[in-house]
Chains A and B, each alone.
Chain A
């Protein structure tokens, strides 16, 4: 794909910021320019947590994404807040375990994936965010599949090396999910 201008959004604690870090790091490992900007402040406590992530082959001028070409939503307030900002032709990925509402626009590509339920069923509780990255990868090809593997190895902290395999499983579940 061309440049990625994404908004990732959900509740605090769902791993939204980590999801952004994984995506940005994948871009970094491919030698691209990347930026990651979190929402910060009181809205993170209990409300929506979101971050803007850009990957580009050129300079990134505005790290704050206001017109995303990718939206990943992990709760209803975030879905409602950002759905109208997605550019026509953009991609919207919805965790349908947590959001039952459907997209009313017909000018965007929508994917409903029950990421939280898939994580639970596969013994990967807490990795719904990584499943969503797998889906994003399959839909947009924002990086090479191999780069994601390298990324996971890089971003999982040394003390949690046993989680690398689980993260890769989560990527594959998302990547292979056919809804």
Chain B
């Protein structure tokens, strides 16, 4: 049994990536994720890895693209404004079927915004992580331990499907310390060979070509259709969520990430007052766990989405349940973290029939 240690979210995430076999990291500092890069800069040179501080976020994501194309398990990390810069590279990776992990420790936006925790990049992560017809796999941990556990999962799925993956965290998760257990892999994790990778082969096989440019429309349509088959399979096989007391709940709170745990406190408090509240916490934001939510809508009377944004997930909740129940919203934006009491007050209002 590994020791339970106290670790900062950003550092735990970095160590988890190393244990998952990622020894190539390309970064650029930005609050509140800088500790990811700082940790990697200390650890990777000692274990024969590559830590590279790029000249910009754009350069870092293109290094990720290159390392991924060569078959390496690689990662980049940033926070909201930096992720906007990376979207070009993410689109190219998606278009060339290059796996890789992108970390977004969100802060308030738009623009330079602020540096406090936020979830205002939900739309960006789930709807338009870059131009073109594309999706990336998006995970939203709600504790430092879950962040650690999801890192390996994200890498494995990204490799298996050749689709870039993202961990969508926030400043709260990145900056806080919590007890965490990190599975150690002695001598580094053994990764399956990537036969498609573009790396030296001494003329022993045909060239592997990795490219996102298709000038013939019919060719581009064909590769996109093929890619969407993989998206479809992900939607069927790889959605994840946590359901807490939803079976008999009248009011179901839907919240992810750090907000998910705050909402849980409110749900517990509501139950103590005899109000039948429950929590639905999506762990994958794309693919969104639609079916699970749809099942809950059979018995729930109302939904309440809680986010650190102006309500970016609300539409996904409405679509998942075919608008069969009212979906209300409560949140703060700009870096303000909702309190359990505020969420509880809203739950009590909804339970009392007020909207």
Contacts and interface: CB of A to CB of B under 8 A. Distances in A.
Interface of A: 21, 24-25, 28, 33-38, 40-41, 59-64, 66-67
17 contacts: A21-B6, A24-B177, A25-B6, A33-B179, A34-B179, A35-B176, A37-B175, A59-B261, A61-B262, A61-B340, A62-B261, A62-B262, A62-B265, A62-B340, A64-B172, A64-B337, A64-B339
A37 B31 contact: no
A38 B6 CA distance: 14
Given A61-B268, A62-B262, A36 B339 contact: no
B262 A40 contact: no
Interface in B10-46: 31-32
A170 B262 CA distance: 36
A28 B172 contact: no
Given A35-B176, A40-B175, A62 B6 contact: no
Nearest to B117: A64
B171 A36 contact: no
Contacts of B32: 40
A36 B116 CA distance: 16
A25 B171 CA distance: 22
B233 to A, nearest CB: 34
Contacts of A38: 175
A24 B8 CA distance: 12
B335 to A, nearest CB: 9
B264 interface: yes
B4 interface: yes
Contacts of B264: 59, 61
B178 interface: yes
Interface in B234-267: 261-262, 264-265
A59 B143 CA distance: 10
A82 to B, nearest CB: 15
A41 B31 contact: yes
A62 B341 CA distance: 11
Contact of B261 (A34, A61, A67): A61
Q: What's the interface size class on B, roughly?
A: 20 to 34
A40 B115 contact: yes
B172 A63 contact: yes
A34 B6 contact: yes
Contacts of B171: 40
Given A38-B175, A62-B339, A28 B261 contact: no
Contacts of A21: 6, 177
A127 B265 CA distance: 36
Contacts of A66: 339
Contacts of B261: 59-62
Nearest to B179: A28
Nearest to B263: A61
A24 B6 contact: yes
| Secondary structure call for the B interface | mixed
Contacts of A62: 261-262, 265, 337, 339-340
A67 B341 CA distance: 10
Contacts of A25: 6
Interface in B156-180: 171-172, 175-179
A64 B264 CA distance: 14
A64 B116 CA distance: 12
Contacts of A61: 261-262, 264-265, 268, 340
Given A37-B176, A61-B261, 4 more contacts: A21-B6, A34-B6, A60-B261, A64-B172
Given A34-B6, A61-B261, A62-B339, A41 B177 contact: no
Closest 3 CB pairs of A and B: A61-B265, A36-B177, A37-B176
Given A21-B177, A61-B264, A61-B340, A36 B172 contact: no
Given A41-B116, A61-B265, A36 B176 contact: yes
A33 B143 CA distance: 12
A24 B176 CA distance: 11
Nearest to A63: B176
B241 to A, nearest CB: 17
A33 B261 CA distance: 14
A63 to B, nearest CB: 5
B347 to A, nearest CB: 14
A59 B242 CA distance: 15
B34 to A, nearest CB: 10
A24 B31 CA distance: 24
Interface string B117-160: 00000000000000000000000000000000000000000000
Nearest to B339: A66
Given A59-B264, A62-B340, A37 B6 contact: no
Interface centre among B178, B264, B265 (most CB of A within 10 A): B178
Contact of B6 (A36, A59, A64, A67): A36
A133 to B, nearest CB: 16
Contacts of A36: 6, 176-178
